[in-house]
Amino acid sequence: MENILEITHLKKHYGPNKAVEDVSFSVGKGEMVAIIGPSGAGKSTILRCINRMIEPNAGSILFNGYDMAKIKKEKELRTARRQIGMIFQQFNLVYRLSVFQNVMHGRLGYMNTWNGMIGNYTEEDKKKALEILDRIGMREMIYKRASELSGGQKQRVGIARALMQDPLLLLCDEPIASLDPSSSKIIMDLIYQMTREKNIACIVNLHQVDVAMRYASRIIGIHKGIIVFNDEPSKLTDNMIELIYGTSIDQLSMNRNQEVMAHA
């Protein structure tokens, strides 16, 4: 499998807090990798370093011919980011705009500033957006404001917007953390199906070990900013899960049941 992303000795510190400490891993084309670990382990920091939403302190992030960690020019960074889609825990939509307008924002990285400001999209892009919305079951809601949607529907719009970028890499930062179990399954099924169909590499941050086991071809376990596990799901033992989360399996199961009850 050809690697689309290679991270070597990545570090990100906030003063004395070592959010990410010497992290190295690669992701192949079309591969789905889940990063698991407790809150504050560094999962989100890794994703945000990859697309340079935050600046790493050290290391290299090789993606599609670019070292994302070393890019200085804004134009070059914009070009590199075009093919890195991002799906957020809190959706990151423009709520006053329609579903269709939010999805079209996925093309802004390919447009000049003026055309982007006035929403001067090509007919080809509009057709593509409608096809994606149809594929994810949102075609009938294109004129609804994003503010009118349920959490699961908002996340489907987030997926559609990311797919409009024609990404080579999709970064999903806790995409189901704020969703109920039923919506969570719909979203994970969509991410899995769409990335496989289009051969898109995907990194998804998850709290839920069972979800990571079900969908990912490889799991990376992070504990206090350090990778302690990087292998196929079948190799993830209970002892390793306890090491990653720093707590017992029983306690993790209890926490998971409480989350389910809260969404019931």
CA distance readout (Å), 137 to 13, 146, 153, 181 = 41, 15, 9, 18
SS3 85: strand
Q: Indicate whether 258 belongs to any domain.
A: yes
Does residue 258 carry a pLDDT above 60?
Answer: no
Q: Indicate whether 214 belongs to any domain.
A: yes
Crossing angle for the helix pair 249-263 and 238-245, to the nearest 10 degrees: 70
Does residue 254 carry a pLDDT above 60?
Answer: no
Q: Indicate whether 236 belongs to any domain.
A: yes
Q: Indicate whether 119 belongs to any domain.
A: no
- Which alpha helices (H) appear in the chain, and where do they start and end? 43-50, 74-81, 99-104, 113-118, 123-135, 151-163, 181-198, 209-215, 238-245, 249-263
Q: What is the mean pLDDT of residues 227-250?
A: 91
**pLDDT, tens digit, 9 for 90 and up, residues 165-177:** 999 999 999 999 9
Does residue 257 carry a pLDDT above 70?
Answer: no
Number of other residues whose CB lies within 10 A of the CB of residue 23:
24
Give the separation between CA 148 and CA 159, rounded to whole angstroms: 17
Q: Into how many domains does the chain fold?
A: 1
Residue 253 — very low, low, confident or very high, per pLDDT cuts 50/70/90?
low
DSSP 98: B
Give me the CATH number covering residue 224.
Answer: 3.40.50.300
**pLDDT, tens digit, 9 for 90 and up, residues 53-112:** 999 999 999 999 999 999 999 999 999 999 999 999 999 999 999 999 999 999 988 877
Q: Indicate whether 56 belongs to any domain.
A: yes
Q: Indicate whether 24 belongs to any domain.
A: yes
Q: What is the mean pLDDT of residues 20-48?
A: 95
Q: Indicate whether 28 belongs to any domain.
A: yes
**pLDDT, tens digit, 9 for 90 and up, residues 179-202:** 999 999 999 999 999 999 999 999
Q: Indicate whether 125 belongs to any domain.
A: no
**Residue range(s) defining the domain that contains residue 229:** 1-83+171-182+203-264
